[in-house]
Amino acid sequence: MHDQPTVPSPCLPPELAVIVPTYKEVDSVEELARRVATVLTGIAWELIFVDDDSPDGTAERVRELARRDPRIRLLQRVGRRGLSSACIEGMLATSAPYLAVMDGDLQHDETLLPRMLQTIQEEDLDIVVGSRYVEGGDTGTWNARRRSMSRLATHIGQRLIRVDLRDPMSGFFLVRSSVIQGCVRRLSGVGFKILLDILSASERPLRFRELPFSFRERQAGNSKLDNAVLWEYLLMLTQKIIGPLIPLRFIAFSLIGGLGVFVHLAVLWPILHVLGEGAFLVGQTAATLVAMTSNFFLNNILTYRDMRLRGRQLLWGWMSFVLACSLGALANVGIANHLFQQGHSGWFLSALAGVLVGAVWNYAVTAVYTWKRPKAA
């Protein structure tokens, strides 16, 4: 255990709150706390870890630190996951006028924090961003694939916010609390890109400056980035375009359902091509089952990523999905077959009508019965 710096007495209200979302960071939180305390000497600060119920004991380690230093705080979230939403909850849990966000894996340069605070105060800015893409900054040891994905996401983000910010995807920044208070109800809280969410949710252009930093190599824990992060990023962009009234899960479910239409038709067409239109009922039934299974696995991986079913739970989840959607499937096949037999529409429109009826039912019942509670990762 590292010795913690002596706590000033009496404790002053915090001028700066450092928000650190964590998941499986038990090996790094103590070192991060030590580094933050060292670089913020002379500044009234608090360090808020927002932990998404890590199974490795991260929350308990933070509690041990907080018992020795009351400037360290813990928000433990049970039953929900997500970096952006964790940052939002942490930022709303403090009275500090300035809020810094950084990762808990020691990859962000904490020595930049005093300069970020000084810059935002002296230049009367709304936000100061730790940037990898201005002169003096770099992405460290990233491989070519990750650099390419970051550049693509950055380009899309710049087009969305229409601001000349070189690194809108940065997860390391310092912002005035008043900015968050002004836009919090318009934040999507989805995915990993909270900075982009803030910039796009603000009703006025934000005054900003970027300061360079070098992205460090991970010293502990596992990367939270996987292929689903790009999916969450695209969902956030979609919601920014269509507005906040439609839930993100419904958007994701609908997009996957749209892909399911192609799966459905891709199965139905060759059956009719080989067996003829007289086999429409058989083809529609088979296509419905295949599309339903495809939608289940994609939704499990993407739409309900934070509640993902694994192992034996995956099998039972698939079974519950099929059972819960059985009425929707019957309606799908029945309506499609009725329309086709009546001759009011061809096989394509008949199949599409059945798919739409089944999709509405599937979303409603699976949200209640299949992914009814978060599962441990």
DSSP 64-94: HHHHH-TTEEEEE--S---HHHHHHHHHHT-
Report the alpha-carbon distance of residue 253 to residue 98 in Å, rounded.
37
pLDDT digits (tens, 9 = 90+) for 283-304: 888 888 888 889 899 988 888 8
Is 75 inside a domain boundary? Answer: yes
Has residue 202 been placed in a domain?
A: yes
pLDDT tens for each residue of 92-136: 999 999 999 999 989 999 999 999 999 999 999 999 999 998 888
Look up residue 345 and give its DSSP letter: S
State how far the Cα of 149 lies from the Cα of 235, in Å rounded to an integer: 16
User: Tens digits of per-residue pLDDT, 159-216?
Assistant: 766 778 888 888 899 999 999 999 999 887 776 678 888 988 888 889 999 999 988 8
- The answer as to whether 375 is a domain residue is no
Residue 7 lies in a domain: no
Q: How far apart are CA 61 and CA 65, in angstroms?
A: 6
Whether residues 261 and 350 share a domain: the answer is: yes
Phi, psi of 340 (to 5 degrees): -65, -45
- Give me the residues paired with residue 75 across strands: 50
Mean pLDDT of the chain, nearest integer: 83
Domain boundary among 207, 242, 277: 242
Amino acid 4: pLDDT? 52
Residue-number span of the structural domain to which 45 is assigned: 16-242
* 84 and 106 part of one domain: yes
Let me know whether 129 and 51 are in one domain.
yes
How much is the pLDDT for 10? 47
pTM across the whole model: 0.73
Pairing relationship of beta strands 173-176 and 127-131 according to DSSP bridges: antiparallel
105 and 192 fall within a common domain: yes
Structurally, how many domains does the chain consist of?
2
pLDDT at 375: 46
Q: Which of 215, 242, 269 is the last residue of a domain?
A: 242
Note the pLDDT tens digit of each residue in 227-238.
566 677 777 777
Residue 1 lies in a domain: no
Q: How sure is the predictor about 377, in pLDDT bands with cuts at 50, 70 and 90? A: very low
Residue 152: CA atoms inside 13 Å, Cβ hemisphere, count? 9
150 and 265 fall within a common domain: no
Q: Tell me, yes or no, whether 234 and 289 share the same domain.
A: no
Task: Say if 9 falls within a structural domain.
Answer: no
Which H or E run includes 101?
Answer: strand 98-101
Q: What is the CATH number of the domain that holds 28?
A: 3.90.550.10
Specify if 222 maps to a domain: yes
Residue 357 pLDDT > 80: no
CA distance 261 to 351: 9
In this structure, the answer to whether residues 236 and 301 fall within a common structural domain is no
169 and 252, same domain (yes or no): no
Q: What is the pLDDT of residue 9?
A: 46
User: Are both 357 and 264 inside the same structural domain?
Assistant: yes
- On whether both 147 and 252 belong to a single domain, the answer is no
Domain shared by 222 and 263, yes or no: no
- Tell whether 121 and 202 lie within a shared domain: yes
Domain membership of residue 144 (yes or no) is: yes
Residue 249 clears pLDDT 70, i.e. is over it: yes
The last residue of a domain, from among 209, 242, 275:
242
